[in-house]
Structure formats: C-alpha cells, structure tokens
Structure 1
Amino acid sequence: MKAMILAAGKGERMRPLTLHTPKPLIRAAGVPLIEYHLRALAAAGFREVVINHAWLGEQIEAHLGDGARFGLALRYSPEDQPLETGGGLFRALPLLGDEPFLVVNGDIWTDYSFATLRRPLPGLAHLVLVDNPAHHPGGDFHLDGAGRVRAEGDAPRFTYSGLSVLHPRLFDGCTAGAFKLAPLLVRAMAAGQVSGERFAGQWVDVGTVERLAEVERLLAAGR
C-alpha cells in the first residue's frame, strides 16, 4: 500500500511561523511535523510515499530529498495553484496507482498506528474518526453500530481525523482542478461505501500556534 501526505496548505493561521517556512516543516520538540508521519509510516511497513505541496514546497523537497534516510521512497506532486484536498489527491493519482492508498493530513499529529490501516478496503473509503475537539464541537460525520460512516443520522457524531484509506475509484468522474474531498465522501456514504473507526488515542489538529504547543506538551509527557 502506498501513502500520501497532504502538505499543500499555506498555514495562514500559524503566521508568522509559516511566513518563511512551509507548515509541514514547522518543528514540534525540534522535529518537523512531517517527519513524525514519515517515521510512523516507515515503522508501519510503508515504503512509497507521495507528498503534494504548494506554498514554499521547494523547501519540503530540499529537506526531505528522496526519503532514503527514513527508509522510504518519496515522490512529489507540486501544485502551482490551490487545488484543495480533492483536487490535490486527483492530481496525484498517477503516482498512487490503482489500489487503495493511505492519506494523512500533514498538519495533524497523532500516535495512531498506521499499520492498522494495512488491510483490505471493503468499500471506497475508510475514515479514522476522533472525539470532537473544542475547536470543532459539532463534528463531521456519524458512525453507526455496523462501522459505517454516514453524513446524516442519529448515530454519534465524530470529527474526521485527517487520516483515511481511499480507493482511486472514489474519484471516478472527476476532472482536473480545485475541488473538495468531502462531497465525494458524502456521495460514497450514501451508497454505503464508507467504513470508519473511532480512535481514542492522542490526536491534535495542529492548526494554530496554541495547538502546536499542545503537541510539544504531549511529546514532553511521553519522554
């Protein structure tokens, strides 16, 4: 299974840190955020990883290189204009192949074991969901008792963690350009093609300087 790290965001909420440094290279406890993902992917048995980038993306390529020092083979999908999540993934599909692939947002930090997702995908997508954080109390999707993710319903509502496995067929009918991933997922949910799980471990959406400090506190506590 290949993996893709989404690293094209501009990180405007983390200014001034991101004025001259791309968000994935912002450091937590002295280590660039994206390196936590790369090390975890290598430890989980992944070998090929695709990284998309836009804002200051040349710094990402210069820092990570070919990935050999992480035990990985890295390939890059540069974007000269904002493509949003769906458009960025669609652009990278030729690098990802015809089989399901893992996707992880470059601006989260978690102790989730990526090896858990190296299993057959029963539908078009599998989402890792977390309890709703204080900055997103309403959540995103419902998770029913059968392990299916729904856009609507009475089941408990959780927040999408930014970690998933997607099948390339999820993008059937899409065309190049900027578009969001969520509508594709909602369409697949309506067809019963999206499974999910709730993760109760450590997870932080590193969208602000304050949440970056939270990651550093968690790392310090775990030493």
Structure 2
Amino acid sequence: MKHALILAAGLGQRMRPLTDVTPKPLLEVHGKPLIVHHIEKLVAAGVHYIVINTSHLAAQFPEVLGDGARWGVRIRYSYEGPTPLETGGGMLKALPLLGPEPFIVVSADIWSDIDYAALPAEPAGEAHLVMVPNPDFHPQGDFALRDGRLYDDGAPAGAERLTFGNVGVYRPGIVANEAPGAFKLAPMYRRAIAQGRLAGERYDGFWRNVGTPAQLEQLRGEVKG
C-alpha cells in the first residue's frame, strides 16, 4: 500500500482547554506532534502519499506539516468545513484524493508501535481492522475476533471480544455508495460483518488512546523523549 488517510478532523472536546487553541493531533509528546508519529511510521512502511482530513483549527495543519517534503512524502488535505463529517463521512469526502486501491487509515489521536508495513495490502473483505485488548475505559470491547474474522452479535465459540485500535486497511467500497454528509463508520462495519467481509487481527503491543489531558500526560511519561 502506498496511500494512507490520517483522521484528524475531530473537535477534541474531551481534551479541552488544550484544544481550544491547538488541534488534538498537533499536541506534542516530547516536542513531536501526535500526528508526526504516524507520518514517520507510515513513511517507514513505504507509504508515499498521505491524506489528512481536517476541520477544527484546520489552518494549523499545513502550517505545521506543510506538503510532507521534509519526510519524503506527499501530504494532501481534505477540509471538511467547520463541522467534522465523522469517520465515515470524512473517509467518503477524502476518497477522490485516495484513489481506487486499498489504503491504510489511522486515527491521529492514538500512539502505538503497530508496524504499518505488516498490515495486509489487500484486506480479506471490505476492511482489515487492528484490534487491541479492551482498555479500562472500554471494557465491553467492539467486536469479537476468531481466525482472522470479526463478528458482532452471535459470535462463534472461542471468539474473543476486543476493542478497535483505530488502525486498519480499507477498500474504498466500504463507503463509496453512501450519501455525502456526516456519518460514522460503525454501521459499515456491521454491514460488512453480516456479509462475512470484515477481517481483523489482535495486537498486543504498545497502544494508547490519547483523548484527555490525563491520557496525554500519561503517554508523555511512558514514552522516551
């Protein structure tokens, strides 16, 4: 895979007051914005073209990141207007910039050691999601995983319920037929599950959600400067 989408359009409401003046993906950990962590990892995995969707304080992204030349990657921006389009609507709006092939999608507000180069170039279905053990703030998980396939209700015996780690590989078709506007990806996941077309893997390495000031400070204490 040579293309990727970084989801960076959220309002960051739980991160206030920090996000009153800075978009959450541009908050720094030891002098490096969260989103740069993903850019560097994507480039190391061979990605040469990245689309970043923006909304809240959108003008700051090109000011900080530019066109990607410093990392040897081309960055394009998909501006959604002052109101974010949610995960699904944002992906749909970005499709013309991403092209027809499968692409990596990662949320800017996580931090992990996931090896993007190890993700499948062709998902076995509509998408391939990286699942992580359920964190304390989400003990019920999102979907069940067994033998590389994801399930919702009615999962088979031996399936393990895990939390979506906000990293995956997608085919454009997962949202291509949706109406433009704001919508979440969750209904698309459940539709793909019903069709047996949502794949996944378990990741047990370092992964952190960065949604609140407390989580940001915890991360700063866990990673080296």
Task: Report the TM-score range of the alignment, normalised by the length of the smaller protein.
Answer: over 0.9
Alignment of 1:208 with 2:212, yes or no, is yes
2:65 corresponds to: 64
* TM-score of the superposed pair, with normalisation by structure 1: 0.96
1:34 corresponds to: 35
1:44 and 1:172 map into 2 onto residues whose CA distance is 26
- Cα 1:90–1:159 change in 2 (3 A) is same
Q: Cα distance, 1:31 vs. partner?
A: 0.8
1:128 corresponds to: 130
Match of 1:119 among 109, 118, 121: 121
Q: Cα distance, 1:211 vs. partner?
A: 1.0
2:61 and 2:181 map into 1 onto residues whose CA distance is 23
What letter corresponds to residue 21 of structure 1 in structure 2? Answer: T
Q: Cα distance, 1:71 vs. partner?
A: 1.3
Q: Cα distance, 1:68 vs. partner?
A: 0.5
Match of 1:106 among 105, 108, 112: 108
Gaps of 5+ in 1: none
Per-residue CA deviation, residues 23-77 of structure 1 (Å, 9 max, x unaligned), is 1100011110000000101111110000000000100111101000011100000
1:161 corresponds to: 165
* TM-score of the superposed pair, with normalisation by structure 2: 0.95
Q: Cα distance, 1:118 vs. partner?
A: 4.7
Alignment of 1:140 with 2:146, yes or no, is no
Match of 2:200 among 189, 196, 206: 196
Task: Figure out how many residues of one structure are paired with residues of the other and give that number.
Answer: 220
- Cα 1:192–1:118 change in 2 (3 A) is closer
1:118 and 1:69 map into 2 onto residues whose CA distance is 27
Match of 1:173 among 177, 180, 189: 177
**Percentage of identical aligned residues:** 50
Divergent runs of 4+, >3 A:
none
What letter corresponds to residue 113 of structure 2 in structure 1? Answer: D
Q: Cα distance, 1:218 vs. partner?
A: 2.0
1:3 corresponds to: 4
Q: Cα distance, 1:122 vs. partner?
A: 2.0
1:25 corresponds to: 26
2:32 and 2:78 map into 1 onto residues whose CA distance is 23
SS in 2 for 1:204: strand
